[in-house]
Amino acid sequence: MMNLNQTPQAQIQLLPRNSRLDVAYETIDELHTAISEGNLDNLDGFASRLELMNWLRDVIYTAQETIDELESTQPTTGNILRVASTNDKLIVLEKAD
């Protein structure tokens, strides 16, 4: 598996997308449906609404951090230009890749 930071770390064995990530999504989607329909029975396992909300915020934070990490390690593509001259009247750009 590719290591995004290129440093030795324990590898995480992920099952195919349709296994673990889909189950997580379906669970949150079912929770959303139950709450939007006024069925709060799915709050079992949480001491309070606040605990559930904090858990959901943690999930969102972790997902957003994962997206940010993926985007920051994504190789740039396309034509990139860099400033080759900073003359006040003319800025010369050259292809950087």
Neighbours of 46 (CB within 10 A): 13
Whether residue 88 is contained in a domain is answered as yes
Structural domain containing residue 66: 20-95
The pLDDT of 1-29, averaged and rounded, is 68
Domain membership flag for residue 43: yes
Q: Confidence band (pLDDT; 50, 70, 90) for 22?
A: confident
Residue 4 lies in a domain: no
pLDDT in tens, 58-94: 999 999 998 999 888 876 665 555 555 566 666 555 6
**Is residue 10 included in any domain, yes or no?**
no
**What's the pLDDT score for residue 48?**
84
Give the Cβ contact number of residue 40 at 10 Å: 11
Which DSSP category does 2 fall into? -
How many folded domains does the chain comprise? 1
Give first-to-last CA distance, the chain, whole Å: 27
